[in-house]
Amino acid sequence: MNRCAAPTWSTFTEASADSPQTTAAIRRHCLVLKSAFSLHMLRLASAARRFSTSAGKSQKISVNGVGIHVVTSGKTPLPALLCIPGGLGTAETDFDPQLRGLADAFQVVSYDPRGYGQSRPPVRDFPVDFYQRDADDAAAVMRALGHSTYAVMGWSDGAIAAVKLAATNKHAVDKLIIFGGNAYMGPDDAEAFEAMRDISRWSKRLRETHLQVYGDDLQPMWSSATNAWLAIIKAGGDVCMEQARSIACPTLVLHGAKDPLCLPEHPDWFAKNIPNATLHVFPDGKHNIHLKYAEQVNDMVRDFAGRR
């Protein structure tokens, strides 16, 4: 099984690299890196450097009992494109180049998932079906905006929610673009999650960065996420495999060959198991291909999702 290089693990934990628990975690730390809060810090820093003004119209929409912060760009007569952020991501930190760059071809819709960004309260929690809940919230947002059919683009954890959305709303989702998500989890992932459960074991910089954002909610939030991932693994590790096999719409799977956070086996699995799926790999791409190669990705999305 392909693995990421171990040295980047030092940004995550102060535990000894010689301990059995940490050794097991290193074997599969790619998934933990994606799931953990370090991505939030990177997203915000990147967004602050690139963008200083809002990418579109912002509004709060009440769906499924919560207020969701939604950002839209482009005109309503255009076909709709829903962009689902990753873990701890928001519309403008995760999809600003798409909100700006695709408004000529789509009404681009993105949002802060419940418990993240400006969709707080509520405090983010993680029931075992939280990926499906995110998918259901996304579908409700699109219904509230009046879109009966639309394309979906999902990044990282948002790719998992996007798969579930396409599988459970076949009548609505006519194109799917995913990247950076995983299809399954295994025993090594469980060891890695347990190794990172206690935030006191995180690096000081990482812990203090996210305590500033989430305060006393951070530890219970992270413990809840860990419990949900462990429950998925205990139930067999199927994150979204069953749903992926049932997708009916054309699907574009993107991947950065140098992605340190998503193992290449996952985009390969999606491309082989989603009916009518195509895989495109960026040879020098990492986890944020839609940000690093925004113009190229936008052109691909415009061509793929714009065809009706």
Amino acid 167 reads: A
* Cα–Cα distance list, 205 to 30, 33, 84 (Å): 19, 15, 28
- Does the annotation mark 156 as catalytic? yes
The active-site residue out of 112, 156, 188, 290 is 156
The active-site residue out of 259, 266, 280, 290 is 259
The active-site residue out of 29, 147, 280, 287 is 287
285 CB neighbour count, 10 Å cutoff: 21
- Does the annotation mark 148 as catalytic? no
- Does the annotation mark 189 as catalytic? no
- H/E/C letters for each residue in the chain? CCCCCHHHHHHCECCCCCCHHHHHHHHCHHHHHHHCCHHHHHHHHHHHHHCCCCCCEEEEEEECCEEEEEEEECCCCCCEEEEECCCCCCHHHHHHHHHHHCCCCCEEEEEECCCCCCCCCCCCCCCCCHHHHHHHHHHHHHHHCCCCCEEEEEECHHHHHHHHHHHHCCCCEEEEEEECCCCECCHHHHHHHHHCCCHHHECHHHHHHHHHHHHHHHHHHHHHHHHHHHHHHHCCCECCHHHHHCCCCCEEEEEECCCCCCCCHHHHHHHHHCCCEEEEEECCCCCCHHHHCHHHHHHHHHHHHHCC
Active site residues: 156, 259, 287
